[in-house]
């Protein structure tokens, strides 16, 4: 018999093919206590985050830094596509995306240049890997939402040549 113990505010990531039926994607179990006395505003932000996730279908993505990955819950915002001349006879198309993400899913990471986010859009079933890149126009990769560290907004880009 094996025991799986998840302590409060800790999580365990199972790789594809490991127990609990995680076949196609990683699976994370999280045990988090809510409604603690004296933490009303933290609980309000947590409940807001849980409501946002549920309203958008509890979507997930894979956050990657080098060889390490995290399965993260996300709430996508509308994409912004842009296309411009890049070299003689070719164009570069970029799509900037903004996602809301739960900070606890990152297990202490903060977004940094070169990290990636792989997201499968449930409407099209198309999978895209977005890259975190600082640009001259914007040197920020994320923005905290609220004051209790529950969620943040992340900024990623997809680059395609034509």
**Cα gap 58→107, rounded to integer Å:** 19
User: 137: which 2 tokens?
Assistant: 């126009």
CATH of the domain at 110: 2.40.10
User: 99: which 2 tokens?
Assistant: 């996602």
In a domain, 26, yes or no: no
**Cα gap 146→100, rounded to integer Å:** 12
In a domain, 72, yes or no: yes
Tokens 């999280």 locate to 30
In a domain, 135, yes or no: yes
Specify the pLDDT at position 3. Answer: 43
In a domain, 146, yes or no: yes
Specify the pLDDT at position 77. Answer: 86
In a domain, 37, yes or no: no
Specify the pLDDT at position 47. Answer: 86
DSSP string, 63-102: EEETTEEEEEEEEE---EEEEEEEETTEEEEEEEEEEEEE
Contact yes or no for 127/118 (Cβ under 8 A): yes
User: Residue 101: which domain range?
Assistant: 57-161
Per-residue model confidence as pLDDT tens digits over 112-133? 999 999 999 888 898 989 989 8
Specify the pLDDT at position 111. Answer: 94
Kindly give, in sequence order, each residue whose CB lies less than 8 Å from that of residue 126, ignoring residues fewer than 6 positions away. 120
In a domain, 61, yes or no: yes
User: 91: which 2 tokens?
Assistant: 């164009």
Kindly give, in sequence order, each residue whose CB lies less than 8 Å from that of residue 57, ignoring residues fewer than 6 positions away. 122
In a domain, 24, yes or no: no
In a domain, 42, yes or no: no
User: Which residues does the chain have with pLDDT short of 50?
Assistant: 1-4, 34-38, 162
Q: In 3D, which of 152, 119, 156, 158 has the Cα closest to residue 138?
A: 156
Specify the pLDDT at position 32. Answer: 52
Tokens 């001259």 locate to 136
Specify the pLDDT at position 1. Answer: 21
Q: Domain count for the chain, please give it.
A: 1
């Amino acid at each position: 018999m094996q025991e799986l113990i998840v302590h409060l505010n800790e999580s365990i990531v199972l790789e594809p093919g490991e127990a609990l039926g995680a076949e196609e994607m990683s699976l994370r179990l999280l045990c988090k206590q809510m409604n603690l006395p004296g933490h009303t505003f933290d609980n309000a932000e947590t409940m807001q985050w849980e409501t946002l996730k549920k309203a958008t279908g509890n979507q997930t993505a894979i956050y990657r830094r080098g060889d390490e990955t995290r399965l993260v819950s996300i709430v996508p915002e509308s994409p912004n596509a842009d296309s411009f001349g890049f070299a003689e006879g070719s164009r570069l198309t970029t799509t900037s995306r903004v996602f809301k993400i739960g900070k606890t899913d990152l297990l202490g990471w903060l977004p940094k240049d070169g990290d990636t986010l792989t997201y499968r859009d449930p409407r099209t079933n198309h999978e895209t890997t977005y890259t975190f890149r600082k640009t001259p126009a914007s040197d920020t990769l994320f923005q905290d939402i609220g004051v209790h560290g529950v969620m943040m907004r992340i900024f990623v880009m997809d680059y395609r040549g034509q």
